[in-house]
Chains A and B, each alone.
Chain A
């Protein structure tokens, strides 16, 4: 993975930069010794690591503002970091950039049940929000699998999803407002406790911008009342096509389940060996469908889903009868990644999205690729919204296997784009898929996105080396070539 070359002039000024940061953030908030910086050298994409120039952990918005305006004035790069759980290298440090950790912003500021929202600092964990409101029967809907550790600020940066997206949306659909520090140090508020923007929807742009546009210092999220009941249905099919057909039929019948997950035979085998969830080992495709809502609705829909599944040839149809059984059905799915970890030294988790109708074809092609690259692949995915998580099994100590795994991963993502899907459904581009952006986007598409970045960060100081394969200078991107009066009017109806 190629990162931008380090700027020797910045490296040479390191002690001066550290001193300037110490003047802004007193005490232990600036970490510049190797041992102290070690925990920050990578995020959850741990195959790639680099030591930052220096780590700074501000505690106030004023400090964040002063740090960013210092960096803007001195052309020092900044990598923002929440909890460091990015699976795409979104918060991987860069050697000539300050690592700006928001971990100390960890307070819940306000809970407003009447307006169904909570105002929190960005370092509060995703699950922490739900925990803070559960005694009143509320929760925060997006639930990425790292929710126990990942921060809400990081969720905003990545537009994180989870297993309940189809019904409840991603982060972007559950945010009401943020406070944002621009690279100039200016502090602006987007949204609040009200709906929709008074002008351009910059809240929508910030969500999923992967730390390239600004630093979020406060988040207002929408709270939902917990559904009264949830029941899960376990469905085993003799073919993957049968399982995929069932997913389409459930949705076409007008049911939007709270969650609808699919596992292939290999994943079922691993998960069953690991947690003993009672999964049918003969199934080629396993579905877990969760229905939530009032008991009478859930009971009614569970029956309909079971009926649809039988009609599509399901060989296993089991409905959870109590909360314990529901949790058991999910246990295998939730433990699928560590379960796969039991049978391989390393695995690479991918994250493409495809139109649901192409699932079966994509799975078949993936198996062919598996033969070609001589590596096994296990599939777990959010079937309801077509978000795949193929796991490629390999041994990172074998350089050739690592290389083949990277090639295999890239082939899978190219396949996703080819069938009308996208490179990443919920993990973000980061450094991981950066060099594949050209597969999905044309140069013009990417230039337009970079111009938007220039509107926020004209010197490309925020989160360098991420998302864009090659950043072009804003001055160059901003040039407009106009051929005055030299172009004849095209042959278009005009009246």
Chain B
């Protein structure tokens, strides 16, 4: 059971706290605001290491496309700052709070980076991993170290930013990050195709993505397939027209969403709002080759007819809700992925279920052993979020 909280006020205090924990044999539950604490394997840490005392934007130069900030800075604060200069976090980090049983609008940017989160624009702009330029932090030896930098192009030394993004706080505790930002589009519009089944929808989305029309979002909800086009007004207009022509043979009904409607629609897709989640339902996130999506969902539905699903990333991301069960149906879900590759992560389930089943996709032995050695190279005494990634 977590007994108390340490809240450092400076990078040096953070380092001291970790050094103390190392010497004391104390494990640390590392968190910003704890908005995603209901995700991952349940942990039994001795202390909470609260990073919210390390907060604020250190440096923001819009013309450099870089923002540097402390680890505890709320994501809402960063997004508001960028919006003033018409810029954005292009990886569109989702707000998973409501899905994980918390209020909306919480969380830190570093928390999103630690989960390597990404929204619909993952397709064209990449995930958090692609936007973390550099960081400083403390390893499990109580040493302050840094990697990367504040520049766009940098191949000096190993790219530890990629490794830290998606490590769920298990490798090092960050105190500061530099993140790439991009101009926000002038206009956002959406073409809706109505009435397509899953297979036809994924074919349409893949065709659209394979066109030169720069699609920045491709999601298929039951009965509704959405393609997002962003940019300067004349370009958006021309591409939307060309896209309609490209997809005319589908014989599907077409509708359009304007900029404001589009923003609301894609925010919902980003935050997994379209998924029908009954209380107690488990939620899975499946990453797969886009064309495999419908077959995976069909295999699951054959065994679990009440499964709910929708697709993002042109079919390459499946959000899946299943009725409550003791094992979250993990063998069914992972068995459905098949030989073409992909992985399933259990995003939402009760603590007991998450304790009982692998939250992250199990890896082949050689890879799993390598991952353990990588973990130990940063955190040899397993102080940080022990067991969270299984």
Contacts and interface: CB of A to CB of B under 8 A. Distances in A.
Given A188-B364, A198-B345, A422 B154 contact: yes
A13 to B, nearest CB: 28
B157 A467 contact: yes
Contact of A208 (B158, B340, B375): B158
A228 B165 CA distance: 34
A4 interface: no
A446 B146 CA distance: 9
A492 B151 contact: no
A430 B120 CA distance: 37
A385 B153 CA distance: 6
Contacts of B7: 492-495
Contact of A437 (B116, B157, B378): B157
A451 B8 contact: no
A377 B143 CA distance: 40
B156 interface: yes
Interface residues of B, number: 106
23 contacts: A188-B364, A199-B367, A201-B129, A201-B163, A202-B374, A204-B163, A205-B163, A296-B234, A297-B231, A301-B232, A387-B152, A421-B151, A422-B149, A428-B155, A444-B144, A447-B143, A448-B145, A449-B158, A453-B158, A455-B376, A467-B157, A485-B23, A492-B13
Contact of B366 (A186, A196, A455): A186
B24 interface: yes
A204 B389 contact: no
Interface stretch (A27-35, A99-107, A246-254): A246-254
Given A198-B345, A254-B86, A485-B23, A159 B159 contact: yes
B31 interface: no
A427 B155 CA distance: 7
A309 B87 CA distance: 22
A486 B25 CA distance: 11
B146 A445 contact: yes
Given A355-B64, A487-B19, A195 B151 contact: no
Interface in B207-235: 209-214, 231-232, 234-235
B23 A487 contact: yes
Nearest to A192: B341
Interface string B321-357: 0000000000000000000111101000000000000
A165 B6 CA distance: 42
Contacts of A36: none
B9 A484 contact: no
B302 interface: no
Interface stretch (B254-262, B269-277, B284-292): B284-292
B22 interface: yes
B244 interface: no
Contact of A448 (B17, B139, B154): B139
Contacts of B212: 137, 225-228, 294
A194 interface: yes
B290 A199 contact: no
Interface string B82-126: 000010000000000000000000000000000010100010001
A293 B235 contact: yes
Contacts of A114: 203, 206, 210, 290-291
A193 B366 CA distance: 21
Contacts of A483: 23
B151 A353 contact: yes
A137 B360 CA distance: 37
A422 B20 contact: no
B379 to A, nearest CB: 10
A356 B61 CA distance: 10
B235 A482 contact: no
A172 B234 contact: no
Given A353-B153, A452-B160, A482-B23, A169 B370 contact: no
Given A195-B127, A225-B211, A301-B232, A456 B152 contact: no
A266 B64 CA distance: 26
A320 interface: no
B317 interface: yes
A188 B367 contact: yes
B267 interface: no
Contacts of A387: 151-153
A166 B90 CA distance: 13
A425 B147 contact: no
A384 B361 CA distance: 39
Interface string A79-105: 000000000000000000000000000
B5 interface: yes
Contact of B141 (A159, A252, A480, A487): A480
B127 A204 contact: no
Contacts of B290: 114-115
A455 B210 contact: no
Contacts of B377: 448, 451-452, 454-455
A233 B339 CA distance: 48
A203 B186 CA distance: 34
A425 B133 CA distance: 12
Contacts of B19: 487, 490
A488 to B, nearest CB: 8
B172 to A, nearest CB: 8
Contacts of A112: 289
Interface string B354-390: 0000001101101100110111111011000000010
Contacts of B238: 294-297
Contacts of A198: 287, 343, 345, 360-361, 363
A386 B152 contact: yes
Contacts of B342: 192, 194
A421 B149 contact: yes
A480 B130 CA distance: 32
Contact of A202 (B23, B146, B291, B370): B370
Contact of B235 (A300, A424, A446, A493): A300
A413 B116 CA distance: 32
B304 interface: no
A290 to B, nearest CB: 16
B81 interface: no
